[in-house]
Amino acid sequence: MVCLSQFSTRELRDYPGTGIIWPVRKQSVTRGSRNLFADLGFPDAAERQAKLRLAFALNKILADRKLSQAAAARVMGVTQPKVSALRHYKLTGFSVERLLNLLTAVDHDVEIVIRRKPRSRKTGRISVVAA
């Protein structure tokens, strides 16, 4: 049971028409990095992020072509269950290299650029940019 007398009127929210008054606590918001996997503490965060972005690009290409999973499987040279896993972002069975090869199988060039990191960052990073 919540005792409402312990809250100021600014901390209470009235839900009109319901008769419910509930305390609202302010919560701090922390801006995350650009990698959700790193924010969640995964040790292989960079690889997971790269795989996710490659899969997103691949799924966009397949959706734009309006290919069924079976047709996409034929084009990419994989089984339909693999296409299903890809479409649902179940990427444990896919390496970065395999996703790169699938992108070339659907007639897209993949370009890898290696450059020096800026001084403003402590470490290098892996990023995937779909054009």
pLDDT tens digits, residue range 44-88?
Answer: 999 999 999 999 999 999 999 999 999 999 999 999 999 999 999
C-alpha radius of gyration, the chain, whole number: 23
Is pLDDT above 90 for 97? yes
Residue 73's pLDDT is: 97
Instruction: Please give the CATH topology (third level) of the domain spanning 43-131.
Output: 434 Repressor (Amino-terminal Domain) (1.10.260)
Q: Average per-residue pLDDT in the chain?
A: 87
Using a cut of 0.75, tell me whether the model's pTM lies above it.
no
Dist CA 9 CA 27 (whole Å): 17
What tens digit of pLDDT does each residue of 27-48 get? 777 888 888 999 999 999 999 9
* 65 within 8 A of 58, measured Cβ to Cβ: no
* 78 within 8 A of 102, measured Cβ to Cβ: yes
CB atoms within 10 A of CB 41: 7
Domain spans, the chain? 43-131
